[in-house]
Amino acid sequence: MTRRLPLAVLVAVATLVLGGCGHSWDWKQADLDRNRLNLGLFRGADTGEKLGSWVRVGEVVDSKGSRSSDDLEVVVRYEREVGEPFGTPGTERVCYRFTPATDGAEVDFGRTDCP
């Protein structure tokens, strides 16, 4: 019985690691920018252009609106090179849309189509 427990734990850990548990590479990159955008809101970024200037990881592909008109948003593209062992070689591109949350103090984000 004592031998099976460590083996079961090892199998569970290997399954989680190989199964890709957690968030995807693009979500992690977007989350880093979300933290910066939260700081930007706190520091008074009140237009899409000003808020977009706080992005450090991805590339801003669209920014518009203002906090006063409730249409503030920033769209950011994240890219990575994919090699042969992990899929078809090339560049993978994913975009995220960032908008102020309903409380206005934090930024919500989610995947969107790239413009």
Q: Where are the domains of the chain?
A: 23-112
pTM (predicted TM-score) = 0.76
For the chain, the straight-line distance linking the first and the last C-alpha, in angstroms and rounded, comes to: 57
**29 pLDDT exceeds 60?**
yes
Do residues 33 and 98 touch, judged by C-beta distance below 8 A?
yes
**Torsion over CA: 100, 59, 113, 35 (sign):** negative
**62 pLDDT exceeds 60?**
yes
Counting residues of the chain whose pLDDT is more than 90, the rounded percentage is 61
